[in-house]
Amino acid sequence: MKRVDDFRLRLGKHELVPIMIGGMGVDISTADLALEAARLGGVGHISDAMINTVADRRYDTKHVKEKLALYKYNVHNEDKSSVKFDLGRLVEATRLHVEATMRRKQGDGLVFINCMEKLTMNAPKETLKVRMSAALDAGIDGITLAAGLHLGSFALIEDHPRFRDAKLGIIVSSVRALQLFLKKSARTGRLPDYVVVEGPLAGGHLGFGMDWAQYDLATIVAEVLTYLKGENLDIPVIPAGGIFTGSDAAGFLDAGAGAVQVATRFTVTEECGLPAEVKQEYFKANEDDIVVNEISPTGYPMRMIRSSPGIGDGIRPNCEAYGYLLDANGKCSYVTSYNREVAAHPGARKVQVWDKTCLCTHMRNFDIWTCGQMTWRLKDTTLRLADGSYQMLSAEHVFHDYQFSTDNKVALPAAATV
Ligand SMILES: Cc1cc2nc3c(=O)[nH]c(=O)nc-3n(C[C@H](O)[C@H](O)[C@H](O)COP(=O)(O)O)c2cc1C
């Protein structure tokens, strides 16, 4: 029986272990996690979601405080269109994060950055251009375009000196989305170096409607492979979403995939950015604790653990400090929902908002526990400790389990010595 290690992913001159750890914002896929993937010969991702916030936490900048001070006058105003990001600060934050990560890189693998189009930041084109260009300037190995169709994203960086040498890929959830992307990017004379095909069981936002359960990753991957073959395009296809064991992964590689992208199994590793107590919630989750809902202001369905503290929480919007989801007109659907509840409950000290969530604040505070559908199986990947908690894993352990396991087995870690 074949295992993942029997395959390699070729990206230009690189020959890689065909395991990509997917981007997980906000700083859930940390530099430490991405660097482990690279050290072990695969591909890791950092994420540029809420990058100013991440820079404040990790590199001692004061971007959030400064932005809030500048726009404090607007906190009670429903109209957020004046709340803009300082593009210079955005460059600084991106550079700090990418440079600090790349400086520590070891091994033959690569570190990419996940850039979500849906982080519209009240100036979608300008901010996305700055984010991608600054990451390239700072030496990132590649960029994965996520959460959006990215029809104009290649054009935004086509004049960058690294446009042709950096690895650029796109996440799609259908052959149609890929066709559109290729058509709209054709003018730049550049194809993506890889295509991640994300199915309906993934974590984070889904590229499907609420009818996600009717779709199936293997079918979409087969359609994409057939399409690319028909077009004579030799682009590695990388399935993602619900690939839980090395055997699941090897099955896709055997069927023609170039690599797999995985994330959920790494949410319970030491290197993952979630707080330790939240990792225990991921371990504990049962199948019926995992829900897909429409509370994300992005408009995409999102998967999360039902008991996430951010669900229903009616905090005042924090767009003056964050504002990553403000659209091109300075609107966010949480702001609308929040104002509706405030108007409906005059005099209430605190309201509840169920139809949308303040995703910026809650992702920043790790209060929306987004997860993959297979999260309920995490408890079977480790040992139970005497106090009833679950033993944390190392990224190396999980990576090697994907790389070497056969027969759908999941290797348990060695018991931790106390
Ligand atoms: C906690 C978590 C956060 C995620 N955040 C993002 C994100 O910010 N951007 C993105 O493109 N994908 C995100 N994803 C999707 C992963 O990158 C990946 O494609 C997918 O989850 C793989 O499926 P798996 O989790 O079943 O292995 C996230 C997944 C998880 C589990």
Q: Which of 220, 264, 308, 373 has the most ligand 1 atoms within 8 A of CB, as the residue to mutate?
A: 264
Which residues on adjacent β-strands are paired with residue 14?
11
Predicted TM-score (pTM) of this structure:
0.98
81, exposed or middle or buried, with CB in 10 Å at 0-12, 13-18, 19+? middle
pLDDT value of position 416 = 84
pLDDT in tens, 45-67: 999 999 999 999 999 999 999 99
Residue 319, CB-side half-sphere exposure with 13 Å CA sphere = 30
If you average pLDDT over residues 323-350, what whole number do you get?
97
pLDDT value of position 259 = 99
- 123: CA distance to ligand 1 center in Å? 25
- 204: CA distance to ligand 1 center in Å? 5
- 285: CA distance to ligand 1 center in Å? 17
pLDDT in tens, 207-266: 999 999 999 999 999 999 999 999 999 999 999 999 999 999 999 999 999 999 999 999
Q: What does residue 9 show for φ and ψ, rounded to 5 degrees?
A: -100, 125
Place of tokens 């069981």: 201
Beta strand pairing call for 290-293 and 302-305: antiparallel
Residue 278, ligand 1, Cβ within 6 A: no
Which residues on adjacent β-strands are paired with residue 293?
302
Q: Which domains does the chain have, with CATH numbers?
A: 4-404 (3.20.20.70)
Residue 217, ligand 1, Cβ within 6 A: no
Residue 302, ligand 1, Cβ within 6 A: no
pLDDT value of position 417 = 73
Q: Tell me the residue type at 263.
A: A
- State the helix-helix crossing angle for 175-185 and 217-230, rounded to 10 degrees: 40
- 207: CA distance to ligand 1 center in Å? 12
pLDDT in tens, 95-121: 999 999 999 999 999 999 999 999 999
64 contacts 311 by C-beta, under 8 angstroms: no
Residue 198, ligand 1, Cβ within 6 A: yes
CB atoms near residue 124 (< 10 Å): 17
Residue 418 pLDDT > 70: no
216 contacts 173 by C-beta, under 8 angstroms: no
